[in-house]
Amino acid sequence: MFSTIYAGALRGISAYLVSVEVDIAAGLPSFAMVGSLSCEVRESRERVCVALRNAGFALPPKRITVNLSPADRRKEGTAFDLAIGVGVLDSLGYFAGEAARDTLFLGELGLDGEIKKVRGVLPIVREAAARGIRQCIVPMENAAEGAAIPGVAVRGAREIRQVLDFLRAETDAEREKVMPRCEGREQTADDTAFEGEPDFSQVSGQETARRAAEIAAAGFHNLLMIGPPGAGKSMIAKRIPGILPLLGREEKLEVTAVASVAGLTGEEMPIVTRRPFQSPHHTVTQAAMTGGGSTPKPGVISLAHRGVLFLDELPEFRREVLDSLRQPLEERQVHISRSCGSVTYPSDFMLVCAMNPCPCGYYPDRERCRCGEPKVRKYLGRVSGPILDRIDLCVELRPVDVTSLRGGGGESSRQIRERVLGARKLQEQRFAGTGYRFNADIDAADLERFCPLGREERECLEQLYHARQLSARSYHRIWRVARTIADLEGAEHIRTEHLLEASFYRPVREYWG
């Protein structure tokens, strides 16, 4: 008997359908699996055999052949177990072959027949829906994640026995009873979305840095904070996700897809609803940062997609790690090439960095800092020019004095968020029908179209270009930041004061030597 069952596999964050073909024929008893399989897929044979036996199905002493097609792509992971098990049952005639038509099966089998969670459910279900699959049977733990995709029935299964009962059921009502369809929950209202997030009202003083954080959040600009230990750099960085606009529906799916591929989704968090905040330690390797491995896995920058990538102690990061951020920062995605093929992961993150001004941390306070000028230069120089060039906003923090600590903090995150949302609305209107989301995304070629300048403003920008010896890239960055500042104010046109304020946040050339 021969049967074909659908399963799915990942390629980067996209997926493709795999048909699991099972043939059972007379011959010497054997169980052979083919189709370019990695070792964990090969081991599937033992799991499936034992799981079926323990679930009460004895395998006959026949020749069983399993092929995973397309056979030329390398298959990895444990998600094929369920499809293979169902294929074997189908071939043995345990249920009518019709019942498994247009159905995709995903899941890892335990030896007792239990179905365990797998990676990448969301992208696979999405691909299945696009290819006309009507229903997907996935592990119970991943059901809510898959249910976020419209147009396909997603059912969560706990064990293989339950799947067989479902396939044997004769009426829809019975099917629904055995394995109910999982409904996608529309996620949380705005107020609870920020519950538990640290609040900006806990930050004392640091007006300039707060302002910069607000501008950064409103236009999704990259931010660098320089200051002595204890000035509140990390505090501010951790509060930025709390003032960013909520993730849109499409954004949620993008972020969840990456988390799903990385195996971070589960019953507790089927869909990512908050903007990611990734803060890797400075000893992080390049492969962990950009993604890597012999079959590439998403790196920290992809996990920070649509959220914040916070690099604390920026100069302590390895040079090659920092420089590997250059291309993703420009293109907002990262290409990883390996011998088995190349994949592309999204990496549209907001870069927030913090650093001390010198090795001891207290420069230019000459009473505490004895670092010589060359030492300070060398320390600052560890942040390469190309990275600095991609920073939109650079601010300096000074140690807070006791009086401002006593006085408590300033505005709350909610107040700031309201202004940010106002600026976000203006950007939505501006970019309606285009691929852009934030001012920071605008291509240099499109600046003229979306952010026109008056004559006086253009002159001011050109004057700034000469006076501050800007690169073409930073020239455009000032332009974009000025647009965000104008948006925060609700101004329709960019004015010179917006340009001037934007130029204040450019990394100072004299300072960086």
Partner 1 sequence: MDRPECREEERPYELWLCSFPGMGNRQMTKLAELCGSAREAYYAGTDKWGQVLREKQVEGLKRFTEGWEPQREWERLENAGIRFVTLKDRAYPGRLRQIPDAPYGLFFRGSLPEERYPAVAVVGARDCSRYGYYVAEKLGETLGRNGVIVVSGMARGIDGISQRAALDAGGVSCGVLGCGVDICYPGENRELYQRLARDGCLVSSYPPGTPALARNFPPRNRIVSGLADAVVVVEAREKSGTLITVDMALEQGREVYAVPGRITDPLSEGCNRLIRQGAVPLSDPGELLSELCGSPRQGPDEPEEGCPAWLPEKLRALYDALEVTPKTVEEIRESLPAGFAESGGKLTADLMRLCLEDLAVQVSPGCFCGKFR
CB 47 within 8 A of CB 111: yes
Tokens at 252, concatenated: 């949620």
Q: Shortest approach of partner 1 to residue 406 CB, angstroms?
A: 16
Nearer to partner 1, 316 or 489 (CB): 489
CB 305 within 8 A of CB 348: yes
Nearer to partner 1, 205 or 270 (CB): 205
The single-letter DSSP state of residue 103 is E
CA distance 77 to 10: 9
Q: Shortest approach of partner 1 to residue 509 CB, angstroms?
A: 10
Give CA separation, 355 vs 3, 175, 367, in Å. 60, 59, 20
Q: Where are the alpha helices (DSSP H) in 111-169?
A: 121-130, 143-146, 160-168
Q: Shortest approach of partner 1 to residue 459 CB, angstroms?
A: 11
Nearer to partner 1, 366 or 406 (CB): 366
CA distance 62 to 26: 5
3-class secondary-structure state, position 331: helix
Q: Shortest approach of partner 1 to residue 335 CB, angstroms?
A: 33
Kindly give the interhelix angle for 413-430 and 207-219, rounded to the nearest 10 degrees: 40
Q: Shortest approach of partner 1 to residue 370 CB, angstroms?
A: 8
Nearer to partner 1, 355 or 440 (CB): 355
Q: Shortest approach of partner 1 to residue 274 CB, angstroms?
A: 28
Which amino acid belongs to residue 40? Answer: E
Nearer to partner 1, 253 or 460 (CB): 460
Half-sphere exposure for 485 (CA within 13 Å, toward CB)? 22
Nearer to partner 1, 158 or 509 (CB): 509
Q: Shortest approach of partner 1 to residue 511 CB, angstroms?
A: 5
Q: Would you give the end-to-end CA distance of the chain in angstroms?
A: 76
Nearer to partner 1, 135 or 503 (CB): 503
- How many CB atoms sit inside 10 A of residue 470's CB? 19
Nearer to partner 1, 9 or 397 (CB): 397
Q: Shortest approach of partner 1 to residue 508 CB, angstroms?
A: 5
CB 477 within 8 A of CB 439: no
3-class secondary-structure state, position 421: helix
Nearer to partner 1, 88 or 355 (CB): 355
Q: Shortest approach of partner 1 to residue 350 CB, angstroms?
A: 19
Q: Shortest approach of partner 1 to residue 442 CB, angstroms?
A: 21
Nearer to partner 1, 258 or 371 (CB): 371
Nearer to partner 1, 428 or 497 (CB): 497
Q: Are strands 153-157 and 135-139 parallel, antiparallel or unpaired?
A: parallel
Q: Shortest approach of partner 1 to residue 19 CB, angstroms?
A: 59
The phi-psi region of residue 348 (left if phi > 0; otherwise alpha if psi is between -120 and 50; otherwise beta) is: beta
Run of H or E including 252:
helix 249-261
Q: Shortest approach of partner 1 to residue 345 CB, angstroms?
A: 32
CA distance 54 to 87: 17
CA distance 237 to 228: 15
CB contact set of 425 (below 8 Å; sequence gap of 6+): none
Which of 171, 189, 186, 281 lies closest to 234, judged by CA? Answer: 281
DSSP 438-503: SGGG--HHHHHHHS---HHHHHHHHHHHHHTT--HHHHHHHHHHHHHHHHHHT-SS--HHHHHHHH
Judged by the rule CB under 8 A, the positions of this chain that interact with partner 1 are 205, 207-208, 211, 226, 357, 364, 366-367, 372-374, 394-398, 460, 463-464, 467, 485, 489, 496-498, 500-501, 503-505, 507-508, 510-511
Q: Shortest approach of partner 1 to residue 224 CB, angstroms?
A: 8
Which amino acid belongs to residue 340? Answer: C
Nearer to partner 1, 257 or 394 (CB): 394
Nearer to partner 1, 121 or 464 (CB): 464
3-class secondary-structure state, position 156: strand
